[in-house]
Amino acid sequence: MLNQEKSNQLFERAQGFIPGGVNSPVRAFRAVGGKPLFMQKAKGAYLYDEDGNSYIDMINSWGPMILGHANEKVQQAITEALPYSLSFGAPTAREIDMAELITSMVPSIEKVRMVNSGTEATMSAIRLARGFTGRDKIIKLEGCYHGHGDSFLIAAGSGALTMGTPDSPGVTRGTAQDTLIAPYNNLQAIEELVVTNNGKIAALILEPVVGNMGCIAPKPGYLEGLRKICDREGIVLIFDEVMTGFRLARGGAQERFGVQADLTTLGKIIGGGMPVGAYGGRRDIMEYISPAGPVYQAGTLSGNPIAMAAGLAMLRHLNDHPELYQQLESISNRIVNDLREVLGQLGLRYTINQVGSMYSLFFTESEVYDYDTAKTCDTALFGRYFRKMLEQGVYLAPSQFETLFVSMILGEEEISRLKEASLSSLQAVLNERPS
């Protein structure tokens, strides 16, 4: 058993002052059972908790730590920026460097606006698409996550094409009615929505590779099909690349799959670990943003100098080392192949989805390509596996419906430790299983 005495004490204290004891729900470990671990520090491939346990980190802050924790270049950039003050509320040269670099890395982005989180990026992109088209409705796909903006917190419902109903109390019926829902990887469902809402749809937003119901790849032709429908109908196609941006390629999923978005939302890696988001895209659409155009969007700390310093150091490194993506992919392939070998050895039925350095092990025999197929997973089994992996010193995402994020810093030692941990964890889980 893991010694987590200090974490437990901190969790106890946290619950007195913070709702559920955490500042973001998944961190509470509710989906996997047990209590959360409080982290003290991290370096390279390893997380260290308050009780002194260490873990190979397979979340990497949900993506940003793609180079490993406490990367020297990023830390150095922050250290250099610090003496110049933390914030001005006035423009700085670094923001232009950032914007130029983003537009050079992601060709569909001609202009870009910096914000402070992925949520802010998606909320702003939707408002912009509505302002630009003069239409109210948006299409969101079941199981995709776009942050916690009201328009996106819409339940999967009992099937495609149904009018959205709020998933969270506090989202008004009016807001929910403007969000249309369709299953992922299903072009026909989009065609039907377009017919029944003719001329009313401002935008279609999706994760071009889904990370938020576990990792799910677009089927061949799917993204191309969406692009065609959006072109035909004058719908703004928004790729939410908060997770995939700068991870699946320098230019994100759109580079990898060769399909361009009208607007792209970014987050996670873009701040190198600092709270940063961005949205950008076609010049004619972006010119609708205030003060260039009429759609209002602002931010006191947007383009914050310290955050920009960290983000720039991160993006420059990725931009200057395109070979990193190949390396990252081969590390990921090895980890996934090892996992397949272990699962095969144990005779476990499973599905693994992998796209580049994102992957998920699903405890189901079914192919997983949308929300309904993701729901076939044995989440209780996942929870037990998660706990065993922790005991073996591996920190996975605390839910079946999350992707894992491989970092560049995983070396031979970590790769073989991962394989050993998977084997003994899965073996233990199988032995416990009531037959």
Which residues are annotated as catalytic? Answer: 145, 240, 268
- Taking CB under 6 A as the rule, does residue 243 contact ligand PLP? yes
Q: Output 141 or 418, the one with its CB closest to ligand PLP.
A: 141
| Beta strands at 111-115 and 54-57: parallel, antiparallel or unpaired | unpaired
242 binds ligand PLP, rule: CB under 6 A: yes
Shortest CB 63 distance to ligand PLP, Å: 7
Q: Which stretch binds ligand PLP (CB under 6 A): 124-132, 228-236, 239-247, 371-379?
A: 239-247
Name the token pair of 80: 């250099």
Q: Which two tokens stand for residue 146?
A: 């776009």
339 vs 358, beta carbon nearer ligand PLP:
358
Interacting span for ligand PLP (CB under 6 A) from 133-141, 171-179, 240-248, 284-292: 240-248
The distance of closest approach from Cβ of residue 277 to ligand PLP in the complex, given in angstroms and rounded to an integer, is: 6
The correct pick among 113, 135, 140, 146 for binding ligand PLP (CB under 6 A) is 146
Residue number with CB closer to ligand PLP (32 or 216) = 216
Closer by beta carbon to ligand PLP, 183 or else 245: 245
Question: Phi and psi of 56, rounded to 5°?
Answer: -70, 125
Binding pattern to ligand PLP, positions 169-208, x when CB under 6 A? --------------------------------------x-
For ligand PLP, the closer CB: 122 or 351: 122
Q: For residues 435 and 209, what is the distance between their CA atoms, to the nearest angstrom?
A: 36
Rounded to the nearest whole angstrom, what is the least distance from the CB of residue 267 to ligand PLP in the complex?
Answer: 4
To which residue do tokens 């941006």 refer?
245
What are the Cα distances from residue 339, in Å, to 14, 269, 362, 418?
36, 26, 12, 9
Rounded to a whole number of angstroms, the minimum distance from the CB of residue 117 to ligand PLP is: 4
> Count of residues for the chain?
435
Assess contact for 190 and 196: CB atoms under 8 A.
no
Taking the complex as a whole, the smallest distance from the CB of residue 391 to ligand PLP amounts, in Å, to 28
x-marked contacts with ligand PLP along 248-277 as a string, rule CB under 6 A: -------------------x---------x
Strands (E), 267-374: 277-281, 351-355, 358-362
Q: Does residue 117 interact with ligand PLP by CB under 6 A?
A: yes
State which residue, 276 or 390, has the beta carbon closest to ligand PLP.
276
> How far apart, in Å, are the Cα atoms of 293 and each of 47, 112, 114, 158, 197?
45, 14, 16, 40, 27
> Which of 87-95, 98-106, 112-120, 320-328 is the region at the interface with ligand PLP (rule: CB under 6 A)?
112-120
Contact stretch for ligand PLP (CB under 6 A) within 118-126, 252-260, 357-365, 405-413: 118-126
User: Would you say 39 or 415 has its CB closer to ligand PLP?
Assistant: 39
Report in angstroms the alpha-carbon separations of 44 from 56, 67, 288, 406: 9, 8, 42, 12
* Least Cβ distance, residue 149 to ligand PLP (angstroms): 9
Stretch 277-316 residues interacting with ligand PLP (CB under 6 A): 277
Edge-to-edge order in the sheet of strand 404-405: 351-355, 358-362, 404-405
Is 212 a binder of ligand PLP (CB under 6 A)?
A: yes
Residue 25 and residue 34: Cα distance in Å, rounded? 14
Judge contact between 240 and 248, C-beta under 8 A: no
Residue selected from 11, 29, 145, 401 as contacting ligand PLP according to rule CB under 6 A:
145
The bridge status of strand 236-240 relative to strand 137-141 is: unpaired
> Rounded to the nearest whole angstrom, what is the least distance from the CB of residue 14 to ligand PLP in the complex?
20
**Alpha-carbon 429 to chain mean position:** 28
Helix axes 305-320, 93-105, angle to 10 degrees: 30
The token pair that represents 217 in the structure block:
């790849």
Per the listing, tokens 């989202």 go with 171
Phi then psi for residue 33, to 5 deg, are 80, 165
* Rounded CA separation 17/20 (Å): 9
- Take residue 391 and report the two structure tokens written for it: 């005991």
Residue 116 — φ and ψ, nearest 5°? Answer: -110, -5
Q: Rule CB under 6 A: is residue 240 a binding residue for ligand PLP? A: yes
Cβ of residue 197: shortest distance to ligand PLP, in angstroms? Answer: 24
Q: In the complex, which residue's CB is closest to ligand PLP?
A: 118
Single-letter amino acid code for the residue at 47 = L
Taking contact as CB under 6 A, which single stretch among the options 76-84, 117-125, 255-263, 322-330 is the one that binds ligand PLP?
117-125
**How far, in Å, CA of 339 to CA of 359, rounded?**
11
Binder to ligand PLP among 68, 118, 131, 245 (CB under 6 A)? Answer: 118
Question: Interface with ligand PLP by CB under 6 A: which residues?
Answer: 117-119, 122, 145-147, 207, 211-212, 240, 242-243, 267, 277
